[in-house]
C-alpha cells in the first residue's frame, strides 16, 4: 500500500471541525445558541458511528482504501451542505417538545441528518488508522492538528463571509480533501482527482435560499416582520451574531419595557435591533430635544436617577443605546457605554449616526468590550452601574436560555460591580417579570450573597426592588439606604403605579397594590432570602433560585424535577410555559445519544462475540479495551466541555470559547500524540498522573488569572488561554494513541471498534458534561474527568499480550 494521505486527513479533519463550529453559528440563527452541546454530540456520534461501520466491513478496507477514502471525503463535503439544508426544514420547535409527540421524532431526524457528514469525515480518519500499520500516532497527530486549525480558521472566515457562504467553503474543502487523498495514495490515473476537484463547485451552484439559515418563526425578529410593511433595513454578520435592524413604517415600533400605564408620552419612532433574531433593543430617533425622551422616566429602570444627582454612569450591555439615552435624559455628568458586538456600535455610530442623535459620540463614550472584563480592568469608580435588559422576554420566560451561561448575574460579578461603586453609588439591574417569580428572586439571592461575601453584616439595609407590570428593577447600594432614599423610592412608584417589592423596613401590606397578582410573592421571597431560613426556603421553592456563581453560571436554569408533575398536571391551565424548555431538550438529547452509542458499540461487540470475521487473537481482552476507551472518551470530553464553558467568561463569547479551547486542546493533544509514538512502552498510569498534576496546577490558576487578566486585549487573553491549556492538553493527547497502538499490536482488527467506543463515549459525555455542570459546577466535572483517566490507567491495557 502507498503512503498515508496525511495532508488529506489534515484537511478533512479541519473541515469537519470547522463544520462543527459553523453549525453552532447556524443553529444560533435557526434556534438558540445553547444548542451547541447537541452539535458537539452530533460530531462525536458520527465519529463513533464510523468506527462501528468499519468494524463490520473490515474485509474491504485494505484492497479498496483509496477509492473508499476519497468517496468518504467527497460525501462529507457534499452532505455537509445538503444535510444542513434538509435539517433546517424539519419542523422542530423546542417549545412544543413536551406536548407534541412528534417533536422528539423531529429532534431525532435532525440528529440523524447531521450525523452523516461527521460519519463520513470520521470514516476517513478511521480508514487511515486501520490500514497504515505502525503509523497510528503520526496519523492521529495530523488528524487533531488539522482539527485545531479548522476550529480557528472558521472563526476568521466568519468575519469575511456569511454563514451560508462559509458552509459552501466547508463543503468544497471536503471535495479538495478527496482529490488530495487520491493523489497522495498514488492513484493509477489523474482524472479522478480532477473530477473530485470539480465537485467543489457543486455547493456554489445551489440556489441561495437552500443554504440561507431559516429562522424559527417563534423568534422575536420573525414575529416583528409579520407587522405590515416591516422590513430589514440593515444587516451585519460576524462570529458574534447576525445583527438585523428592522423598520416598521406603517405601525411605528414603540419599545419601552414595562412603560408605566400612567405615562402621558410615548416613545419617538424607533428601529428594532436584533441579534440572531432575539434580544429586541430600540434604536431611537433622537433629534436632540431631551423632552422627546420623557418616556424613559416612566419605566422601572429610571428609579436610580431619582436617588442620584448628575451621576457618572456605566451602562453594561448598551446595545443600540436606549439606556444611554435614559442616562442622558436624567442629566448624567458622564456616560460610559460597554457593548460586546462591534457591529452594533458601527451601525449606531455610522449608518444611523444622524438619526440616532450621536448617542455613541457626543452623548456617551462607547467601549467595545465584554461587561465583566471591562469592569475588572477599569480603574474608575461610578455613581451608577446599569446592567441593561437585552435578552428576549419570550425566550427568557419560556426557559430557552436555561442552558446558557451568563456571567453578568453571578455572585462574583455583583461583587466586582460593587467594588467599582463610589460610596453611596448604586448597582441597578432590570429583569423581566416572571410569575411565579424566578429571575428576580434568584438575582436577589445573588445580591444578598455578594454583600455577605463583601463583609456586609446587614445586606437587607442595602437592597431595594420595585416592579412594573412587566419588569423588575433591583438596586444594590454601596452603603445603607437612607430615609430620604426610601421616600424617593415610594414617590417614584406611586407616581407611576409601580409596586414596591422590597426596601429596608418595608411592611407586607405595602406590596402588590397596583399591578395586582395573586400574592406578594416578591416581597415574601425577598424577606425569606434575608432571614435565617434562607436555605430551607430555596430548597422548598418550586424553582431553582440558588444564586448563580462563576463555577455554575447558568442563571436561567430554574428547573426542578419535583415540580414537573405539578406543571404537567397544569397543562390545561397554562402550566407548561413555566418549564425551562432547554432543559428537557438536553435530557432528550442525552437519552437519544446514549441509546445510539449503546447500539453502535454493542452491535459490533455482539458481532465479534458470535464469531464474526476471523477468529480473534488469543489473550486479547475486549473488556479491557471497552473500559479503557470508554474511560478516556468520557474523561477527555468532560474536561474539554468544562473548559469551554469556563472560558466563555474569559474570552467573552461562547463561539470564541469553543474555537480557542478546541484549538488549544487539539493542537497540544496532537503534539502529545506525536510524542507518544516514540514512547510506546510508556505506562498509562504515568500519563494519567501527568494529566492529574497538570490539572491540579491549572485549576487554581484559572480564577486568579481570570480576575486579574480579563481586562487584557483579545489577543493577550487568547495567549493566556492557550498557555493555560497547553500542558494539560499535551498529556491528554497521549492515552488514545498509546492505547490504539497496543490494540494494534494485539489484534489490529479491533482498531475500528476501539475508535468507535471512544467516539460514542464522547457523544454521551458531551451532553452529560453540560448537564452535570448545571448541577455540580465546572470544577466537579473536571474532577470527574480526572477520575475517569485513573479508571483507564487501572484497566492496564498495556498488559494486553502481543500476538
Q: For residue 118, with 0-12 CB atoms within 10 Å meaning exposed, 13-18 middle and 19 or more buried, which class applies?
A: buried
Q: Which tens digits make up the pLDDT trace of 15-30?
A: 998 998 888 888 888 7
Together in a domain, 656 and 535: no
Together in a domain, 543 and 635: no
Together in a domain, 329 and 189: no
Provide, rounded to the nearest whole percent, the portion of the chain with pLDDT above 70. Answer: 86
Residue 580's pLDDT band, with cuts at 50, 70 and 90, is: low
- The grid coordinates of residue 82 equal 445538503
First-last CA distance in the chain: 23
Average pLDDT estimate for 380-406? 65
For 645-662, b/e burial (b = at least 16 CB within 10 A) is bbbbbbbbbbbbbbbbbb
Please say whether the beta carbons of 581 and 717 come within 8 A: no
Q: Provide the sign of the torsion angle of the four alpha carbons 557, 563, 564, 570, taken in this order.
A: negative
Q: Which residues make Cβ contacts (< 8 Å) with residue 206, sequence separation at least 6?
A: 81, 85, 168
The rounded mean pLDDT for the chain is 83
What pLDDT is attached to residue 800? 41
Average pLDDT estimate for 222-251? 90
Average pLDDT estimate for 265-282? 88
Average pLDDT estimate for 126-137? 77
Asked if residue 287 has pLDDT above 50, the reply is yes
Peptide bond into 436 cis (omega under 30): yes
466 three-class SS: strand
Which residue has 423596613 as its cell numbers?
A: 505
* Between 115 and 390, residue with greater pLDDT: 115
What pLDDT is attached to residue 462? 97
Would residue 507 count as lying in a domain? yes
* Between 584 and 797, residue with greater pLDDT: 584
CA distance 414 to 574: 34
Range of 114-118, 164-168, 767-771 with top mean pLDDT: 164-168
Together in a domain, 458 and 475: yes
Would residue 362 count as lying in a domain? yes
Together in a domain, 346 and 452: yes
Would residue 179 count as lying in a domain? yes
Average pLDDT estimate for 175-187? 80
CA distance 327 to 305: 8
What is the phi-psi region of residue 800: left when phi exceeds 0, alpha when psi lies from -120 to 50, beta otherwise?
beta
Asked if residue 796 has pLDDT above 70, the reply is no
Average pLDDT estimate for 318-331? 93
Average pLDDT estimate for 126-143? 79
Q: What's the domain range around 418? A: 291-569
Nearest to 669 by CA among 137, 17, 24: 137
Together in a domain, 511 and 430: yes
What pLDDT is attached to residue 615? 44
**Strand duo 270-275 + 463-467: pairing:** unpaired
Q: Which tens digits make up the pLDDT trace of 475-528?
A: 999 999 999 999 999 999 999 999 999 999 999 999 999 998 888 999 999 999
Q: For residue 638, with 0-12 CB atoms within 10 Å meaning exposed, 13-18 middle and 19 or more buried, which class applies?
A: buried
Would residue 670 count as lying in a domain? yes
Q: Which tens digits make up the pLDDT trace of 693-716?
A: 888 888 888 877 777 777 777 788
Average pLDDT estimate for 665-690? 79
Instruction: Compute the chain's Rg from CA coordinates.
Output: 28
Q: Which tens digits make up the pLDDT trace of 156-168?
A: 898 889 999 999 9
* Between 56 and 329, residue with greater pLDDT: 329
Q: For residue 13, with 0-12 CB atoms within 10 Å meaning exposed, 13-18 middle and 19 or more buried, which class applies?
A: buried
Q: Domain boundary residue among 536, 569, 602? A: 569
Strand ranges, E, within 21-126: none
What pLDDT is attached to residue 392? 45
For 226-251, b/e burial (b = at least 16 CB within 10 A) is ebeebeeebebbbbbbbbbbbbbeee
Residue 762's pLDDT band, with cuts at 50, 70 and 90, is: confident
Together in a domain, 384 and 458: yes
602 sits in which H/E element: helix 582-609
Residue 125's pLDDT band, with cuts at 50, 70 and 90, is: confident
Together in a domain, 342 and 488: yes
Average pLDDT estimate for 417-444? 94
- The grid coordinates of residue 125 equal 480518519
Average pLDDT estimate for 571-577? 55
CA distance 20 to 13: 11
Asked if residue 59 has pLDDT above 80, the reply is no
DSSP result, 382-449? EEEEEE---S-HHHHHTTTTTT---TTSSHHHHHHHHHTEEEEEEEEEEEE--SS--HHHHHHHHHHH
What pLDDT is attached to residue 748? 73
* Between 578 and 430, residue with greater pLDDT: 430
Residue 146's pLDDT band, with cuts at 50, 70 and 90, is: confident
Provide, rounded to the nearest whole percent, the portion of the chain with pLDDT above 90. Answer: 32
Together in a domain, 622 and 721: yes
Average pLDDT estimate for 327-335? 95
Together in a domain, 45 and 189: yes
For 612-634, b/e burial (b = at least 16 CB within 10 A) is eeeebbeebbbebbbbbbbbbbb
Please say whether the beta carbons of 108 and 591 come within 8 A: no
What pLDDT is attached to residue 167? 93
Together in a domain, 226 and 207: no
Asked if residue 83 has pLDDT above 80, the reply is yes
What pLDDT is attached to residue 168? 92
Q: Domain boundary residue among 544, 569, 594? A: 569
Domain count, the chain: 3
Would residue 279 count as lying in a domain? no
Would residue 286 count as lying in a domain? no
Q: What share of residues in the chain are helix, strand, coil (percent, to 5)?
A: 60, 10, 30
CA distance 770 to 401: 14
- The grid coordinates of residue 602 equal 454493542
Indicate which CATH number applies to the domain containing 402: 3.40.50.150
What pLDDT is attached to residue 329? 95
Instruction: List the 382-387 sheet strands across, edge first.
Output: 365-368, 334-339, 312-316, 382-387, 421-432, 471-477, 463-467, 499-502
Q: Which tens digits make up the pLDDT trace of 618-634?
A: 445 778 888 888 899 89
Average pLDDT estimate for 671-682? 75
What is the phi/psi pair of residue 687, to 5°? -65, -45
Would residue 13 count as lying in a domain? yes
* Between 558 and 37, residue with greater pLDDT: 558
Asked if residue 235 has pLDDT above 80, the reply is yes
Q: Which residues make Cβ contacts (< 8 Å) with residue 277, sequence separation at least 6?
A: 29, 215, 216, 219, 220, 221, 222, 242, 244
- The grid coordinates of residue 478 equal 454601596
CA distance 512 to 432: 17
**Strand duo 471-477 + 382-387: pairing:** unpaired
Average pLDDT estimate for 745-766? 78
CA distance 286 to 273: 16
Q: Which tens digits make up the pLDDT trace of 343-372?
A: 999 999 888 988 888 899 889 999 988 888
Among 213-222, 295-304, 617-626, 741-750, the minimum mean pLDDT is found in 617-626
Asked if residue 679 has pLDDT above 80, the reply is no
Would residue 575 count as lying in a domain? no
Indicate which CATH number applies to the domain containing 149: 1.20.1250
Together in a domain, 647 and 598: yes
Asked if residue 380 has pLDDT above 60, the reply is yes
What pLDDT is attached to residue 241? 83
Please say whether the beta carbons of 25 and 161 come within 8 A: no
Please say whether the beta carbons of 14 and 169 come within 8 A: no
Amino acid at each position: 500500500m502507498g503512503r498515508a494521505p496525511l495532508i488529506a486527513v489534515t484537511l478533512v479533519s479541519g473541515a469537519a471541525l470547522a463544520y462543527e463550529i459553523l453549525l453552532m453559528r447556524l443553529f444560533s440563527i435557526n434556534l438558540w445558541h445553547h444548542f451547541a452541546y447537541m452539535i458537539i454530540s452530533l460530531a462525536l456520534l458520527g465519529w463513533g458511528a464510523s468506527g462501528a461501520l468499519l468494524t463490520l466491513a473490515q474485509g474491504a478496507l485494505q484492497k479498496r482504501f483509496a477509492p473508499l477514502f476519497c468517496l468518504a471525503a467527497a460525501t462529507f463535503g457534499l452532505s455537509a451542505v445538503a444535510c444542513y439544508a434538509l435539517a433546517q426544514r424539519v419542523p422542530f420547535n423546542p417549545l412544543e417538545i413536551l406536548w407534541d409527540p412528534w417533536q422528539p421524532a423531529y429532534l431525532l431526524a435532525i440528529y440523524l441528518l447531521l450525523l452523516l457528514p461527521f460519519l463520513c469525515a470520521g470514516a476517513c480518519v478511521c480508514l487511515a488508522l486501520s490500514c497504515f500499520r505502525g503509523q497510528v500516532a503520526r496519523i492521529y497527530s495530523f488528524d487533531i492538528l488539522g482539527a485545531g486549525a479548522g476550529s480557528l480558521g472558521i472563526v476568521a472566515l466568519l468575519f469575511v463571509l456569511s454563514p451560508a457562504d462559509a458552509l459552501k467553503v466547508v463543503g468544497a474543502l471536503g471535495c479538495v480533501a478527496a482529490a488530495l487523498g487520491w493523489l497522495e495514495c498514488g492513484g493509477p490515473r489523474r482524472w479522478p482527482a480532477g473530477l473530485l476537484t470539480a465537485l467543489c463547485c457543486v455547493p456554489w451552484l445551489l440556489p441561495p435560499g437552500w443554504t440561507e439559515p431559516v429562522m424559527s418563526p417563534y423568534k422575536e425578529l420573525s414575529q416583528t416582520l409579520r407587522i405590515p410593511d416591516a422590513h430589514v433595513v440593515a444587516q451585519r454578520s460576524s462570529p458574534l451574531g447576525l445583527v438585523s435592524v428592522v423598520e416598521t413604517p406603517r405601525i411605528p415600533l414603540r419599545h419601552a419595557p414595562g412603560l408605566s400605564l400612567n405615562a402621558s408620552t410615548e416613545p419617538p419612532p424607533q428601529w428594532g435591533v436584533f441579534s440572531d433574531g432575539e434580544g429586541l433593543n430600540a434604536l431611537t430617533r433622537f433629534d436632540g430635544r431631551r423632552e422627546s425622551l420623557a418616556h424613559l422616566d416612566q419605566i422601572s429602570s429610571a428609579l436610580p436617577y431619582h436617588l442620584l444627582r448628575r451621576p457618572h454612569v456605566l451602562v453594561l450591555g448598551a446595545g443600540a443605546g436606549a439606556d444611554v439615552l435614559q442616562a442622558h435624559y436624567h442629566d448624567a455628568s458622564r456616560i460610559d457605554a460597554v457593548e460586546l458586538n462591534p457591529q452594533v456600535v458601527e451601525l449606531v455610530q455610522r449608518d444611523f449616526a444622524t438619526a440616532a442623535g450621536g448617542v455613541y459620540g457626543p452623548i456617551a463614550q462607547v467601549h467595545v468590550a465584554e461587561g465583566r472584563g471591562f469592569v475588572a480592568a477599569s480603574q474608575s469608580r461610578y455613581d451608577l452601574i446599569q446592567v441593561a435588559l437585552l435578552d428576549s422576554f419570550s425566550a427568557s420566560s419560556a426557559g430557552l436560555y436555561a442552558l446558557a451561561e451568563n456571567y453578568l448575574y453571578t455572585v462574583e460579578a455583583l461583587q466586582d460591580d460593587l467594588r467599582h461603586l463610589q460610596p453611596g453609588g448604586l448597582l441597578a439591574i432590570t429583569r423581566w417579570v416572571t410569575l411565579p417569580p424566578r429571575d428576580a428572586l434568584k438575582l436577589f439571592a445573588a445580591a444578598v450573597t455578594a454583600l455577605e461575601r463583601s463583609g456586609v453584616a446587614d445586606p437587607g439595609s442595602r437592597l431595594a426592588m420595585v416592579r412594573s407590570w412587566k419588569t423588575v428593577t433591583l438596586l444594590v447600594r454601596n452603603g445603607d439606604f437612607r430615609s430620604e432614599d426610601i421616600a424617593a423610592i415610594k414617590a417614584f412608584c406611586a407616581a407611576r403605579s409601580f409596586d414596591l417589592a422590597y426596601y429596608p423596613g418595608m411592611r407586607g401590606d405595602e406590596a402588590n397594590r397596583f399591578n395586582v397578582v395573586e400574592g406578594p410573592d416578591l416581597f415574601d421571597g425577598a424577606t425569606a432570602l434575608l432571614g435565617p431560613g434562607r436555605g430551607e426556603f430555596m430548597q422548598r421553592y418550586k424553582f431553582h433560585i440558588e444564586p448563580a456563581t462563576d463555577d455554575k453560571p447558568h442563571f436561567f436554569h430554574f428547573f426542578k424535577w419535583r415540580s414537573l408533575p405539578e406543571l404537567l398536571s397544569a397543562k390545561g391551565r397554562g402550566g407548561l410555559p413555566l418549564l425551562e424548555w432547554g432543559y428537557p431538550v438536553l435530557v432528550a438529547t442525552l437519552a437519544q445519544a446514549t441509546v445510539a452509542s449503546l447500539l453502535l458499540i454493542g452491535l459490533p461487540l455482539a458481532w465479534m462475540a458470535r464469531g464474526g470475521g476471523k477468529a480473534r487473537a488469543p489473550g486479547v481482552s475486549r473488556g479491557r479495551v471497552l473500559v479503557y476507551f470508554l474511560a478516556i472518551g468520557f474523561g477527555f470530553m468532560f474536561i474539554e466541555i468544562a473548559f469551554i464553558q469556563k472560558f466563555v467568561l474569559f474570552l467573552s463569547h461562547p463561539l470564541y470559547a469553543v474555537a480557542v479551547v478546541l484549538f488549544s486542546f487539539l493542537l497540544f493533544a496532537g503534539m502529545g500524540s506525536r510524542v507518544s509514538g516514540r514512547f510506546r512502552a510508556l505506562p498509562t498510569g504515568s500519563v494519567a498522573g501527568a494529566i492529574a498534576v497538570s490539572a491540579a496546577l491549572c485549576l487554581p490558576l484559572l480564577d486568579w488569572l481570570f480576575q486579574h487578566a480579563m481586562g487584557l486585549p483579545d489577543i493577550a487573553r487568547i495567549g493566556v488561554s492557550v498557555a493555560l491549556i497547553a500542558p494539560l492538553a499535551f498529556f491528554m493527547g497521549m492515552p488514545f494513541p498509546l492505547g490504539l497502538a497496543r490494540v494494534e499490536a494485539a489484534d489490529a482488527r479491533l482498531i475500528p471498534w476501539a475508535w468507535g467506543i471512544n467516539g460514542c463515549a464522547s457523544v454521551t459525555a458531551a451532553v452529560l458534561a453540560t448537564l452535570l455542570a448545571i448541577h455540580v459546577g465546572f470544577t466537579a466535572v473536571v474532577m470527574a474527568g480526572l477520575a475517569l483517566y485513573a479508571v483507564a490507567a487501572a484497566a492496564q491495557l498495556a498488559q494486553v499480550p502481543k500476538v
